[in-house]
Amino acid sequence: MYKMFSISTSLFLKPRASLKVQGDQGIASAGYYSTRVARNPNLEKLQTNYLFPEILDREVKHMEKYPNAKVISLGIGDTTQPLPQPVALSMSNYARALSTHQGYTGYGLEQGNKELRREIVETFYKDLSVEETEVFVSDGAQCDLSRVQLLLGSNVSIAVQDPSFPGYIDSSVIMGQSGELRNESGKYGNIKYMKCSPENDFFPDLSKTERTDVIFFCSPNNPSGHAASRAQLQQLVEFAQLNGSIIVYDSAYAAYVSDSSPKSIYEIPGSRKVAIEISSFSKMAGFTGVRLGWTVVPKELLYSNGFPVILDFNRVICTTFNGASNIAQAGGLACLSLEGFKEIMSKVDYYKENAKILVDTFASLGFRVYGGSNAPYVWVHFPHSRSWDVFNWILEKTHIITVPGIGFGPGGEGYIRISGFGRRESILEASKRLRTLLC
């Protein structure tokens, strides 16, 4: 066995500069075999390690320092409530049937089970002109983000909300779209950052936004929890039409929308000509471990030469993906049944109540709090503070894991994100601890 397999996993939690030292001086000098293949230079451009492994590393060190502390994690947005029984039962029955000649299935369609695609359209896109052949079932929104990046290629220019989910920027860096990191600003030179803050109602000033080929836009937004209004999304669609841009619209949290804000970009007239929509069962149905999502690519969406984008996306899917798990898709169908959908929406309501408890907690301490009503996330402002310092302060004083806002882009500095995903008893205990912050 090669010695390489004994490398500590802590290596992968270190910033890029540390990795370079390890790679140039540590691993090589220790006698490890090296190939003659150069490292992908785009990966060297990544600012640091990925946000959530860094948080995990700090959590581990905190637990080593306080071995008896009961740490509450309100950081990573992972669901905690059990799957509805009809959903779990449908997957169990499907899996059990695979042991029989009658019930065994192999490869399915790369684009997904036809019945599931039809139910996705009926449930989420009724009267929005979306066809089942425009729906591509997948193993989750984050995987689809990478497939969309493969579709777009390395020569496109991109814009992102600031703050936004770090996967948009990191995947762009890996694809070679980003340019070089500017250390003084924390921004990549070829990425346009659209500032979204309380001062502009968490929606960019499009009159001052440069044209890009692609616009990544998430609503309800992760991390701020803001759901764009119909008027705001109409502006976005018109901006994309004017500039000939493609919107990659992330609606992973649409099930949490409580007001009249659109749940799909396709509620906006003209959007089928300029938008791809990515969505997921993860935060809606508790499928973070099951893995199931979908992407919609309208037939009207065309490249500059008139070629349909959907045909290229279908080719990407058929080349890189063998289709979502048949068992997971059986669970997805159960989620969209009358009984299943009622139960998964009750889980959504549970997490929204958790978020409300956290909103009320921070508001009672006098902090400016955003989100929590149309999303499971609470976005708290700590003026004149660095978000990693706030993260460390809260962890040290309350043994609660949060997420520093700077991890979502420069526009997140001075904020922390807190997740409503958790068991109610943990949320109530966290609320109790957090109320001691200023004591």
- CA atoms of 197 and 201, how far apart (whole Å): 6
Phi and psi for 188 in degrees, rounded to 5?
-90, 140
Half-sphere exposure (CA, 13 Å, Cβ side) for 135? 26
Share of the chain above pLDDT 70, in %: 92
Cis peptide before 163 (omega within 30 of 0): yes
- In the predicted model, what is the mean pLDDT of the chain? 93
Mean pLDDT, residues 237-259: 98
Residue listed under structure tokens 């984008």: 309
Query: What per-residue string of b and e applies to 305-316 under the rule 16 or more CB within 10 Å gives b?
Result: eeeebbebbbeb
Exposed, middle or buried: residue 164 (CB in 10 Å: 0-12, 13-18, 19+)?
Answer: buried
Cis peptide before 220 (omega within 30 of 0): yes
Residue 19 has pLDDT above 50, yes or no: no
- CA atoms of 265 and 270, how far apart (whole Å): 10
Q: Which of 47, 85, 52 has the alpha carbon at shortest distance from 419?
A: 52
Residue 1 has pLDDT above 60, yes or no: no
DSSP state of 15: -
Mean pLDDT, residues 308-335: 98
Q: Which of 391, 410, 387 has the alpha carbon at shortest distance from 402?
A: 391
Name residues whose C-beta falls within 8 Å of residue 405's C-beta, 6 or more positions apart in sequence: 163, 223, 379, 387, 412, 413, 414, 415, 416, 417
Angle made by CA atoms 280, 281, 286, in degrees to the nearest 5: 135
State the angle between helix axes of 51-65 and 387-398 in degrees (0 to 180), rounded to the nearest 10. Answer: 30
Give the pLDDT confidence score for residue 30 in this predicted structure. 63
pLDDT in tens, 258-285: 999 999 999 999 999 999 999 999 999 9
Tell me the pLDDT band of 29, cut-offs 50, 70 and 90: low
Residue listed under structure tokens 């500039």: 243
- CA atoms of 29 and 328, how far apart (whole Å): 46
Mean pLDDT, residues 111-118: 98
All domains of the chain in start order, with CATH: 49-78+338-436 (3.90.1150.10), 83-335 (3.40.640.10)
Instruction: Give Cα 239 to chain centroid, integer Å.
Output: 24
Give the pLDDT confidence score for residue 49 in this predicted structure. 64
- CA atoms of 132 and 227, how far apart (whole Å): 26
pLDDT in tens, 38-67: 999 999 999 766 688 889 899 999 999 999
List own/partner pairs for 60-63 with CB under 8 A and 24 or more apart. Answer: 62/395, 62/396, 62/399
- CA atoms of 307 and 324, how far apart (whole Å): 27
- CA atoms of 223 and 73, how far apart (whole Å): 16
First-last CA distance in the chain: 56
Give the pLDDT confidence score for residue 439 in this predicted structure. 81
Give the pLDDT confidence score for residue 14 in this predicted structure. 43
Residue 12 has pLDDT above 60, yes or no: no
Residue listed under structure tokens 């759901």: 227
Give the pLDDT confidence score for residue 51 in this predicted structure. 81
- CA atoms of 87 and 296, how far apart (whole Å): 24
pLDDT in tens, 351-410: 999 999 999 999 999 999 999 999 999 999 999 999 999 999 999 999 999 999 999 999
Phi and psi for 187 in degrees, rounded to 5?
-115, 155
- Is pTM, for the whole model, over 0.85? yes
pLDDT in tens, 69-110: 999 999 988 999 999 999 999 999 999 999 999 999 999 999
Q: Which of 301, 291, 270, 268 has the alpha carbon at shortest distance from 144?
A: 291
- CA atoms of 159 and 97, how far apart (whole Å): 47
Give the pLDDT confidence score for residue 79 in this predicted structure. 97
Give the pLDDT confidence score for residue 76 in this predicted structure. 85
Residue 20 has pLDDT above 60, yes or no: no
| Rounded-to-5 percentages of helix, strand, coil across the chain | 45, 15, 40
Compute how many other C-beta atoms are within 10 angstroms of the C-beta atom of residue 352.
18
Identity (one letter) of the amino acid at 338? L
Residue 10 has pLDDT above 60, yes or no: no
DSSP state of 302: B
Residue 245 has pLDDT above 60, yes or no: yes
Half-sphere exposure (CA, 13 Å, Cβ side) for 230? 7
- CA atoms of 372 and 193, how far apart (whole Å): 24
Identity (one letter) of the amino acid at 100? T
- CA atoms of 342 and 320, how far apart (whole Å): 34
